[in-house]
Amino acid sequence: MPTQIDKDACREAYNQVRDDNSDTSWAAFKYEDSVIVPAGVGTDYRDFKQLCTDDVPLFGFVRFLTGDAMSKRAKFTLITWIGERVGGLQRAKISTDKTLVKDVVQNFAKEFMVSDPRELEEEYLCSELRKAGGANYDAQAE
């Protein structure tokens, strides 16, 4: 059975993260049988990381505050988590199913495919987002 996505529910979670008036900083999307549904939303990135266990595939849309001494801004990322114990067939399916998620999650600065928990570290992700973000005025102060 081909994978489907609950667009309305996933879009609602996505919009909560995008909303500047909301404290929500992440939304996760999981498989429920052959349907991608929201796995939760939250304000603490550590809660998102706890969902990324070694036996599940998961998609995450996360807002990070990045910038430099001259400006701070919200940057968004799409994270595809593939746990180490996820089977080969499911791994292959994730890359095609990601297009369904991208129909909902359309605006992000950088995309990550992760299977190592160390690559979920906030400092690493923010560093990569800064690199993708262009001008860095902190470099002038060094």
The pLDDT tens digits of the residues spanning 47-98 come to 999 999 999 999 999 999 886 667 778 999 999 999 999 999 999 999 899 9
Across the chain, mean pLDDT equals: 90
Res 16: pLDDT: 97
Question: Residues 26-42: pLDDT tens digits?
Answer: 999 999 999 999 999 99
- How many contiguous H segments (helices) and E segments (strands) does the chain have? 4, 6
For the question of whether the overall pTM of this predicted structure is more than 0.95, the answer is no
Handedness of CA 95, 101, 102, 105 (dihedral sign): negative
Element (H, E) at 81: strand 72-82
Q: How far apart are CA 76 and CA 79, in angstroms?
A: 10
CATH number for region 4-133 = 3.40.20.10
Domain boundaries, the chain: 4-133
Residue with tokens 């746990």: 83
Q: How far apart are CA 122 and CA 101, in angstroms?
A: 22
